[in-house]
Amino acid sequence: MAVTALGSTEVVRPSVRRRRLEDERWLALVLLMPTAILLGLFIAYPFFEGVMLSLSSARVGDPGEFVWFKNFVKLWHDSIFWTAVWNTFWYTAVTTVFKLGLGLWLALLLNRHFRGKAIVRAFVLLPFIIPTVLSTFAWKWMFDPTFSVINWSLFKLGLISARINWLGDADLAMTSIMIVNIWRGVPFFAISLLAGLQTISPELNEAAAIDGARPWNRFWYVTWPLLLPVTMVVMLFSVIQTFADFQLVYVMTGGGPANATHLFATYAYQIGIVSGLLSEGAAVSLAMFPFLFVIVVAQLLYIRRVEVR
235 scored as a contact of other proteins (CB under 8 A): no
Nearer to other proteins, 94 or 228 (CB): 228
How far apart are CB 232 and other proteins at their closest, in Å? 10
How far apart are CB 167 and other proteins at their closest, in Å? 4
| Distance from C-alpha of 70 to C-alpha of 171, rounded to nearest angstrom | 32
Q: Which helix (H) or strand (E) holds 203?
A: helix 202-210
**Considering only residues 129-168, where is the footprint of other proteins by CB under 8 A?**
129-135, 137-139, 141-142, 144-149, 151-153, 155, 163, 165, 167-168
Residue 13, burial from CB neighbour count under 10 angstroms (0-12, 13-18, 19+) = exposed
Q: Which residue from 4, 13, 15, 114 is in contact with other proteins, where contact means CB under 8 A?
A: 114
**Considering only residues 66-95, where is the footprint of other proteins by CB under 8 A?**
74, 77-80
Q: Which residue from 94, 127, 219, 222 is in contact with other proteins, where contact means CB under 8 A?
A: 127
Binding letters toward other proteins, positions 191-230, x by CB under 8 A: xx-xxx-xx------x--x-------------------xx
CB 173 within 8 A of CB 222: no
**Considering only residues 242-281, where is the footprint of other proteins by CB under 8 A?**
244, 246-247, 253-259, 264-265, 268-278, 281
Nearer to other proteins, 89 or 128 (CB): 128
Q: Which residues sit opposite 56 in a β-bridge?
A: 66
Biggest distance spanned by C-alpha atoms of the chain = 83
Number of residues engaging other proteins in binding (CB under 8 A):
133
Nearer to other proteins, 29 or 94 (CB): 29
How far apart are CB 143 and other proteins at their closest, in Å? 10
User: Following DSSP, what letter does each residue of 82-132 receive, concatenated?
Assistant: HHHHHHHHHHHHHHHHHHHHHHHHHHHHHTS--TTHHHHHHHHTHHHHS-H
Stretch that binds other proteins, among 3-11, 82-90, 91-99, 283-291 (CB under 8 A): 283-291
122 scored as a contact of other proteins (CB under 8 A): yes
Q: Which residues sit opposite 59 in a β-bridge?
A: 62
**Considering only residues 161-190, where is the footprint of other proteins by CB under 8 A?**
163, 165, 167-170, 173, 183, 186-187
Rg (CA), the chain: 25
Q: Which helix (H) or strand (E) holds 40?
A: none
| Distance from C-alpha of 230 to C-alpha of 228, rounded to nearest angstrom | 6
| Distance from C-alpha of 81 to C-alpha of 53, rounded to nearest angstrom | 18
Nearer to other proteins, 8 or 275 (CB): 275
How far apart are CB 216 and other proteins at their closest, in Å? 12
**Considering only residues 6-65, where is the footprint of other proteins by CB under 8 A?**
18, 21-22, 24-25, 27-29, 31-32, 34-35, 38-39, 41-47, 49-50, 53, 59-65
| Distance from C-alpha of 272 to C-alpha of 305, rounded to nearest angstrom | 40
| Cβ neighbours around 236 below 10 Å, total | 16
Q: Which residue from 94, 175, 292, 302 is in contact with other proteins, where contact means CB under 8 A?
A: 292
| Distance from C-alpha of 51 to C-alpha of 301, rounded to nearest angstrom | 27
Q: Which helix (H) or strand (E) holds 269?
A: helix 264-269
